[in-house]
Amino acid sequence: METIAILSLAFGLGLLHALDADHVMAVTGLAATQSKTKQCLRFCRHWALGHGSAMLMIGCAVILFGMTIPETLSEQAEALVGLILIALALWVFRDLYRRRLYIDFHQHADLPRDDSWQQQRSAEDPNKPRSDNHSAILVGLLHGTAGAAPFLLLLPLSSQTTPMLSISYLLTFCVGVVVAMLIFGGLLGQLYDFLGRYGLSMINLLRGIVACSSLALGLYLLGAF
């Protein structure tokens, strides 16, 4: 019963950890150009894969080999996360600006309509690997590295605890992160679908809000204010 309680705690903490503000902002920013539920789920899955890989590697090294985590590692990883959040915000702003120019161009009455940009996007192979997938994994790796040190302090590493239980705790925590992220991705995709019924402007408004929030959080992580 004690083992079940410990693993249940790990799963619950994983669910909560996945919904940290910097995690939500990063995943939402990455999925900002893809408003379908399937794409949002894919981004969340790749982020969770990167996050879990980092925590498993660092956690197993600490548990099995008694290695210590450098004090500056989490701080440096957190600073990198802040930079990435800022970069994601700027990328979303740039994409919104380009889309605005595209709409304005085709709304001009004296110019012929050119669908080449739309055709190029619609012709993309959905099964082709995208660089966005790798970006989601990379951001997940950084998030996992930044959160590894604080998390490992919560590991049940008492003298009565076996390494196997500690690793099970770590794995269960990562499962909780994956589950929470997939639920979030599904809800995000549904939100995009709902807003899409009222026009592209509503989706772009949400993306703008997310970009502003991501920029503010990135600056905060860098200690700008």
Question: Residue 130 burial (CB < 10 Å; 0-12/13-18/19+)?
Answer: middle
**Per-residue pLDDT at 108:** 47
Lowest-pLDDT range, 12-16, 122-126, 196-200, 213-217? 122-126
**Per-residue pLDDT at 39:** 80
If pLDDT is split at 50, 70 and 90, which confidence band does 184 have? very high
DSSP symbol at 134: H
Mean pLDDT, range 36-48, rounded to an integer: 84
If pLDDT is split at 50, 70 and 90, which confidence band does 154 have? low
Q: Is 114 a residue whose pLDDT tops 80?
A: no
Both tokens of residue 211?
Answer: 């970009």
**Per-residue pLDDT at 19:** 87
Type of residue at 86: I
Q: Which residue has the higher pLDDT, 195 or 36?
A: 195
pTM of the entire structure? 0.76
Report CA-CA distances (Å) from 70 to 20, 21, 89, 138, 148: 23, 25, 30, 20, 11
Q: Find out whether 207 and 92 touch, Cβ atoms under 8 Å.
A: yes
Q: Find out whether 175 and 13 touch, Cβ atoms under 8 Å.
A: no
How far is Cα 173 from Cα 169, in angstroms, rounded to an integer? Answer: 6
Predicted confidence (pLDDT) per residue in 58-104, tens digit: 888 887 887 766 667 767 777 888 888 898 889 888 888 876 655 54
- Sorted by where each begins, the domain ranges of the chain are 2-107+131-221
Mean pLDDT, range 114-135, rounded to an integer: 46
Lowest-pLDDT range, 24-33, 56-65, 165-174, 207-216? 24-33
How far is Cα 4 from Cα 176, in angstroms, rounded to an integer? Answer: 15
